[in-house]
Every structure is written in C-alpha cells, then in structure tokens.
Amino acid sequence: MQHTLNQTHDPAARSWVASANAQAGDFPIQNLPLSVVRRRNVDEAFRGAVAIGDQVVDIAAWASRARLDGIAGEAARACAQPVLNAFFSMGPSAWRALRHTLFAALHERAPSEDRAAIEACLIPQSEVEHSLPAQIGDYTDFYTSIHHATNISKLLGLNGVGANFKSIPIAYHGRVSSIGTSGQRFRRPAGQTMLPGEEAPIFSPSRKLDYELELGIYIGQGNAAGEPIELDQADSHVFGLCLLNDWSARDIQAWEMQPLGPFLAKNFATTISPWIVTMEALAPFRLPLPRPDADGKPLPYLDSDRNSTTGAIDIQLEVCMETSRHRAGNLPATQLSHTSFRHQYWSIAQMVAHHAVGGCNLRPGDLLGSGTISGPERSEAGALMELARNASEPVTLSTGEQRSYVEDGDAIILRGYCEKAGFARIGFGESRGEVLPAKR
C-alpha cells in the first residue's frame, strides 16, 4: 500500500493555502509531513503539526474544531500529544486516513466549513519551534552506501570493502540522548587519539570532526520479540523519513574501532530535521534497487521481486557549509556536495528486515540511520573526509577559506527533496547543526 499512487499524488492539486502552491516549495499539498511544535516564547505544550506551505496545521486545535469521525478522528487525537509514538503505533490505515482527510480539507475545492475549521488552526512556520517528533527508544545507524564504503576503504589504505558488505546491511547501536533537531549546537568532542608516529595515545579535542549525510527512518508499527518482519512487509512498519547528520570524530573513531564499533566518536551529537515525510508521499519516486548482477542475489530473507524493482527512492540531497565568515558577510552557505539516495546499496526494507530477523523487537518511534549517502562521483560524497581526501586535498569554500574537516563555528546544513516530471516537488526542509569550541 505504501507504493500505491492515489489522489494525494495528483500534481494538479492545489491548496487554498497560497504558499503551498509555490513552484519550488518544500511543502505542497502533496507532501503534508508531520512534526511536533509549539509557538515560540509561549508557555504551552508541544503537539503534532503538519506543514503546508509556510504554515503549520495545529492538529490538536483542528481535532477539537473539525467533525472528524472514525479512524481519522482517532489519529488526529493521537497526534495531539507531545510526541507522535501513539500515532505511529496505529499503523498504515490510520496514517493514510489522517493524511487523506487533511489533503481534502486543505484542497482548493474543500467545503467552506472544512476550510474554516482548519484555517483557524494555522500558525506561520516562522512562529513555531520544534522538539523531537517522537520519543526515540532506540537508534541504529547503518552503513549501506557502496560508494562511501569504497571511498573510505581507499583513503584508509584497505584492500576494498569488507567481505560482508554485500551480504548484510551492517549497523551499530547509536546514542539516543544526544539526538537533537535542526538548530542543534554542540561542543567539539574530546577523546583518545593516536597521532601518527607516536607509541601512546593522547587525550584531546577531536582534530578531525566530520559530518555524515544520512536519512533518518522512523519506525511506525513495531514487531513482537522473536517475530521477524518479512521483507515485503517492512515498508508498512516505516512511517517516514527525515534528514540526519551523523557527526563523526574521525581521529577518535580510528583509535577506538580496534576491534569494536564507534563509541565516543559518534555519541556526542546527531542532528535531524524536524519534519517527517511519509512513505506514502514518496511513492512516486521509487526506482529499482541498483544491485549489480555480478554481486549475485542476497540471502532469501533479503531478496524479493518487489524490493528489487521499487526498493530505491530518488531523494536529492545536498550538503552546505556556513562558516563564521559567511555569517559576518551575510553570504549564502557554500554547497559542498549533491547526491541521491537512489545510489544506496541496501534498501530501507532490507535494513528493517535484517534488523528484526534475529528476534529484535522494533518499537514505534525507533530511529534508523541510513548510513552515509554517497554517489559514484567525488562531487556526490556524503562526508568531508571523502571530499577532502582525508585532508590531503582541502575543499575551497566560496569565502576563500579551506576545509579538511569541520572547524569551530562551522554549521553544516543538509537539505533534501524529490523531483520528477508529472509529480509535485516534495521537500524535507533542512537539518542544521553548528559546532562550538570544546569545553576547556
């Protein structure tokens, strides 16, 4: 059902909210992503909201005004809470009912009483602040880009990617407490590093702080412990996607990953965008999964015709850097790279199916990171370590500054959108994170 096209994908659909009809806007009526918001500088609770143009629909207020019956009404009331976990747990039928009801009420041909009920519940996006949209119980970060894996292996002098990369979606368990929404500011992390030519490690702030361009994958309905999720059912367990920056201290990571996975190198900050774009909204942008025939088929639990033909999603992604000099000169941020999620070796469904196959019980609101998203060209690299060739070829910014890694005062901005002839543009907004000096 998540891949089926319906009236909400009609490119001719227009909203009575004029800003939703902008040619290159992120939030047309065909999108309707969810978050939780409250008015800035007002003592009130966070609650669910939907983006439409430059406005948000306060779902709690709308649910109290509109005559919502059945599952759509139940879904709206679940969204009135400070987090969306209860709504996620209701499953695809409730997600679809709420989205379709909102679509009808926001459509330019909506009945006057439906328009009036929702019009009274609009708040300008410029007047709200966001919190984490879900109570994230667990966070798992994957490693699923063949291009990123190949680039990093070459930079580290390794003989190709690991033998298991093409057999399993590799992942590690991340830290939930340091996940923050766009606008997150954090101190440069410190830890142990081993400098070249030295025989003993030192403790210091990271000298090789990096970003990683990823997507965040929100689990909707979970599964019982011991009950795997079938590959072709996996998409029905995913509510939607956001942008995710998996900040990484490369020098700390290099020393501590001998032999286990990253720890202090990644537990200090993860920055996500506040809006969750539903899988239903992304249905028009599905593509075949790019697994070369020479790689053979994965094991049966990770293989299906449906996944092979629709497992990829063409989400355009870009990374920009804004330095103190950009801000002082009121200059636009420098774009560092542009790529697409369609290059990813493993699909979202495969990540979910593999995560649960051993008996792990996923829960509503759990977050998965897609792993760094890099394309085949250098300009499509999803990390500065790749772009700057591990500091051997620094990147020159529009200000004339050079960067091998992220410096204090730098902000990294991730943006994403889908575009395809015959369909409306679907945007993700942005994820912005800024690095502060290490604590002295």
Q: Which residues are catalytic?
A: 148
Q: Tell me how far apart the alpha carbons of residues 261 and 223 are, in angstroms, rounded to a whole number.
A: 26
Q: Tell me how far apart the alpha carbons of residues 162 and 335 are, in angstroms, rounded to a whole number.
A: 31
Q: Tell me how far apart the alpha carbons of residues 305 and 308 are, in angstroms, rounded to a whole number.
A: 5
Residues constituting the chain = 440
Q: Is 199 assigned to a binding site?
A: no
Q: Is 266 assigned to a binding site?
A: yes
Q: Tell me how far apart the alpha carbons of residues 216 and 318 are, in angstroms, rounded to a whole number.
A: 15
Q: Is 278 assigned to a binding site?
A: no
Residue 414: CA atoms inside 13 Å, Cβ hemisphere, count?
36
For every residue of 188-251, DSSP letters joined together read: PPEEEE--TT-SS-EEEE-S-EE--EEEEEEE-S---TT----GGGGGGGEEEEEEEE--EEHH
Beta-bridged to residue 413, according to DSSP, are 320, 432
Query: In degrees to the nearest 10, what's the CA dihedral of 181, 251, 190, 384?
Result: -30
Q: Is 405 assigned to a binding site?
A: no
Q: Is 26 assigned to a binding site?
A: no
Share of the chain residues as helix, strand and coil, in percent rounded to the nearest 5: 25, 25, 45
Number of Cβ atoms within 10 Å of the Cβ of 127:
14
Contact (CB, 8 A) for 85 and 364: yes
Q: What is the biggest distance separating any 2 CA atoms in the chain, rounded to whole angstroms?
A: 75
Contact (CB, 8 A) for 248 and 210: yes
Decide: helix, strand or coil at residue 408: coil
Q: Is 350 assigned to a binding site?
A: no
Is the bond into 259 cis (omega within 30 degrees of 0)?
A: yes
Q: Is 256 assigned to a binding site?
A: no
Sign of CA dihedral 23, 29, 30, 32: positive
Which residue numbers belong to the known binding site for Mg(2+)? 246, 266, 270
| Binding-site residues | 141, 143, 212, 214, 246, 253, 266, 270, 372
The annotation places the binding site for substrate at 143, 253, 372
